[in-house]
Amino acid sequence: MSELRKDPIVSRWVIIATERDARPHHFKSSAETPSDTKSEGCPFCEGNEHMTPPEIYAVRPGGGKANGPGWLVRVIPNKYPVLRIEGDVARRGIGMCDMAEGVGAHEVIVETPRHDQRLSDLPEEHIELVLGAFRERIIELDRDDRLRYAMVFKNQGIRAGASLPHAHSQLIATPVTPITVKEELQSSKKYYQEKERCIFCDYLKQEMKAGERLVMDDEHFAVIAPFASRFPFEMWVIPKKHQSDYHKISPQELTSLSKILKMILIKLRENLENPDYNMLLHTAPLRTPRSGYWTTIEVDYHWHFEIFPRLTRVAGFEWGTGFYINPTPPERVREFLMGE
Amino acid sequence: MSELRKDPIVSRWVIIATERDARPHHFKSSAETPSDTKSEGCPFCEGNEHMTPPEIYAVRPGGGKANGPGWLVRVIPNKYPVLRIEGDVARRGIGMCDMAEGVGAHEVIVETPRHDQRLSDLPEEHIELVLGAFRERIIELDRDDRLRYAMVFKNQGIRAGASLPHAHSQLIATPVTPITVKEELQSSKKYYQEKERCIFCDYLKQEMKAGERLVMDDEHFAVIAPFASRFPFEMWVIPKKHQSDYHKISPQELTSLSKILKMILIKLRENLENPDYNMLLHTAPLRTPRSGYWTTIEVDYHWHFEIFPRLTRVAGFEWGTGFYINPTPPERVREFLMGE
């Protein structure tokens, strides 16, 4: 079982994946780029369903049996999970150090049955199914009161941390609230306490008015290159209507989000030579049955996606300081991507 | 001039290097591996001193003129600094957002005149000169009261963020205290207030006693694989004697540190196929003339180096949560590296 460990000096949690126990020779990277519709050894390809643990969720428009072909989107447990759903969250101390058992969930959202498609290649209606799968899985995991947060993320390409080339996203649910999430929650709560307004709503209003960092928008969403962008071409996709929880997204918003997302990903691909990228969903924590504690979260937090191509390397200075060095001003992103 | 920008939601500072203004086509990586003793186009090679700005510091055992050959270690301003020494630190707001001018210092410590040597190839006495250059530069920058922190770091190899292959370290001095440093300072100050002991001294004592995460040690230093290691083979080099400021290191300690450092770097190279790595110095902030504010820092903080090979990729989950996933338990590091 994995262990969650907390650094005794800074409040940083680490997952030590003891089961993997990776020895030196394990650290090699492969650079496969898919070209065939199906790959013999790929567990995410249609027809290879037996290579994965039994599925948790799938979209099969034509019907058909679980764990067989005929699906468009398929969610499975990660075969090598960093956290497992079985067991209790036993927290304990080792001298000055804290640890907890690695309880949680680690799921893979396979975005397409085809090996040669990337998320940006899929039709908008298909992307909508992927985004819908995120929603369904969060709703389901919210029922488990051992879990505090569900992080949905996508690593596209080796530089972004992907280990398999077949298009997929992941969901990791953790028994502690991650520090990065906590900082964002605390900050937005504090702002609300002072002003009785959502910090994201105010920020969005400011950026819509200023205009120079607005990359695109439609009725439901705005894409912003954030003022303090950590990475070149970092973008946040923010719903215009205030909403704390991604899983409460409306059907109209889901359709709109699919269009916006496809557009951004295509623009990145066209203008930056098909870059590897990360995409993260920032949504409110799971809170069944902790509703008492989070009394204001529905008014003070605002879900959004963060997307950043992996163009720069995070180096010593960034690790040591928490500062990021970004050579591309966010004011240039719209021009570079949209040609405007 | 670069800009320091603070995220309005989380307390994260970013340096937007507006002068670089990198367009999409700038993001290409080159993978040169040095083999010749001198490279024609390398600004860090002996004989090419005219290709860099005038030197700030150099070690010339045989004498000789500044900005000519004959040196073993040479410190120069970075030709493309992320922060510049000229100007004032004007902080201001843009709507909800904070920013400051990019005042600071960005220096390069060229570790050897030869193009084909890595830090680990140098004799111990030469490594000592490099470590001595770190000390001299921090002492000098401590006199500038606009600066709050001097971060010394080394990016070895492209995966670790190096853009030039010739062996070098860097120093970036910032006009704000970096958030990562602040967290460590706050935590050690709090521990001291409670226990009147240094948290690092206590941690070191615990780890020396437990033994399982002790990689090696000598009279002056211990090398620990930290309990909550973020990365496989992460190691901290901690002085056994309590000391808050690296630049107060004794001559005996400097000699000992050179030996220990060379040993670790060679072990990493031998056992992990010459991995790229980052090395960071964590030392107390510059504090002339802020001694009033930092009344206890000399007893509550403890300098150390952090070293980690870049074997895993930092992916979406880590970015979104601040959690790290580490597949190599720190309890296995001594065995894997030292064969014990």
pLDDT digits (tens, 9 = 90+) for B142-178: 998 888 899 999 999 988 888 889 999 999 998 878 8
pLDDT in tens, chain B (340 residues): 566 677 666 666 666 665 555 555 555 433 445 678 888 889 999 999 999 999 999 999 998 899 999 999 999 998 877 777 776 666 777 788 777 777 789 999 999 999 999 999 999 999 999 999 999 999 999 998 888 899 999 999 988 888 889 999 999 998 878 888 888 888 899 899 999 999 999 999 999 999 999 999 999 999 999 988 888 899 999 999 999 999 999 999 999 999 999 999 999 999 888 899 999 999 999 975 555 555 688 888 999 999 999 987 778 888 888 777 888 888 889 998 988 6
Q: What is the CATH number of domain B3-15+41-174?
A: 3.30.428.10
- Do β-strands A105-110 and B304-309 pair in parallel, antiparallel, or remain unpaired? unpaired
A18 Cβ contact partners less than 8 Å away, ≥ 6 residues apart: A1, A2, A3, B329
Cα B163 from chain centroid? 16
Average pLDDT over residues A227-247: 94
Spatial contact of A129 and A33, defined as CB atoms under 8 Å apart = no
**In chain A, what residues touch B183 (CB-CB under 8 Å)?**
10-11, 322
CB–CB of A16 and B326 under 8 A? yes
Q: Is the dihedral of CA A188, B323, A294, A299 positive or negative?
A: positive
- Using CB atoms, which residue from A15, A21, A24 is nearest to B323? A15
Which class for B299: exposed (0-12), middle (13-18), buried (19 or more C-beta within 10 A)? middle
Spatial contact of B31 and B158, defined as CB atoms under 8 Å apart = yes
Helices (H), chain A: 124-141, 179-195, 199-210, 251-271, 297-300, 316-321, 333-338
Q: Is B326 helix (H, G, I), strand (E, B) or coil?
A: strand
The tokens for B250 are: 């004794």
The percent of residues above 70 in pLDDT, for chain A, comes to 86
**In chain A, what residues touch B311 (CB-CB under 8 Å)?**
27
- Say what the pLDDT of residue A28 is: 42
Say yes or no: domain A180-338 is CATH 3.30.300.10. no
Q: Mean pLDDT over all residues of chain B?
A: 86
0.85 surpassed by complex ipTM: no
Closest residue by Cα to residue B204 from B226, B181, B228, B232: B226
pLDDT tens figures, B34-81: 678 888 889 999 999 999 999 999 999 998 899 999 999 999 998 877
Catalytic residue among A106, A115, A126, A168: A168
CB–CB of A94 and B227 under 8 A? yes
Spatial contact of B319 and A322, defined as CB atoms under 8 Å apart = no
Domains B3-15+41-174 and B187-276+291-338 fall in the same CATH topology = yes
Instruction: Output the CA–CA distances (angstroms, integers) from residue A94 to A97, B164, B287, B305, in the order listed.
Output: 5, 43, 35, 24
Domain ranges of chain B: 3-15+41-174, 187-276+291-338
Instruction: Output the CA–CA distances (angstroms, integers) from residue A104 to A86, A214, A321, in the order listed.
Output: 8, 37, 30
CATH superfamily, domain at B187-276+291-338: HIT-like (3.30.428.10)
> Kindly report the CA angle at A129 between A127 and A135, in degrees rounded to 5?
110
CB–CB of A155 and B315 under 8 A? yes
CB–CB of A315 and B17 under 8 A? no
Q: Which CATH architecture has domain A3-20+37-174?
A: 2-Layer Sandwich (3.30)
The tokens for A23 are: 């020895």
